[in-house]
Amino acid sequence: MRDKMRKSYQVQKEVAQKGCFEGEIALSELKRLGELLQLDDAGVDGRTIAVNFEFLRSEFDVPMLAGRLQTSLELECQRCLKPLELPLDVNFRLLIDASDELLSHSSEDTVYSDDGYIDIVEVVEDELILALPLVAMHEDTACNENWRASELSAETPVKENPFAVLQQLKTTD
């Protein structure tokens, strides 16, 4: 059974109880993410992130946080500078307070607790920031009529082989 979500969790207690949680976080709570989205308050109001996660023990017997985030963010298309709706469905698995040696043998990332407590809002914000594309653009290149991506690739000049002259000197003995 999934319990109602809180902001902070004591890691050892939740791992021992195999705590499962679900809930929603308002996008307006994520200040760092909001700065990256460059939205005014009207673009953030009412948007939420559906969050569900659980505390486990990893195969290395280290506490782990595994979960899923679902939301839709409004970014600015870098091609046409118009709004771009980006649906996100992010699965994450994070070791908690794992040593550097363990991390070198694991494919998982880690998150560090603050005196044994994890702030789930910070974890969610970090995972969403990592899920953002480096350059947000619409799939259709026609979103900007001034964009000439197909024409640019067609204009690439064909270079002649500088060694083609040597072909004439070749003899057939």
164 lies in some domain: no
Whether pLDDT at 26 is above 60 = yes
What is the model's pLDDT at position 115? 92
Q: Which of 90, 82, 69, 86 is nearest to 22 (CA)?
A: 69
Task: Give the amino acid at 106.
Answer: S
Total domains present in the chain: 1
12 lies in some domain: yes
55 lies in some domain: yes
98 lies in some domain: yes
pLDDT tens per residue across span 74-96: 998 888 888 889 999 999 999 99
158 lies in some domain: no
117 lies in some domain: yes
pLDDT (average), residues 100-107:
85
- Give me the domain span that covers residue 76: 3-152
99 lies in some domain: yes
Half-sphere exposure of 170 (CA within 13 A, CB side): 7
Question: Which range scores top for mean pLDDT: 97-106, 124-133, 164-173?
Answer: 124-133
What CA–CA distance (Å, rounded) separates 165 from 21?
A: 72
125 lies in some domain: yes
Cα angle: 71, vertex 11, 16; to 5 degrees = 110
pLDDT (average), residues 102-116:
88
Of the pLDDT bands very low, low, confident and very high (cuts 50, 70, 90), residue 142 is confident
Q: Is 88 exposed, middle or buried (0-12, 13-18, 19+ CB in 10 A)?
A: middle
Whether the CB-CB separation of 51 and 22 falls below 8 Å is answered with: yes
Q: Which two tokens stand for residue 75?
A: 């970014």
What is the model's pLDDT at position 67? 95
Whether pLDDT at 148 is above 60 = yes
pTM above the 0.85 mark? Answer: no
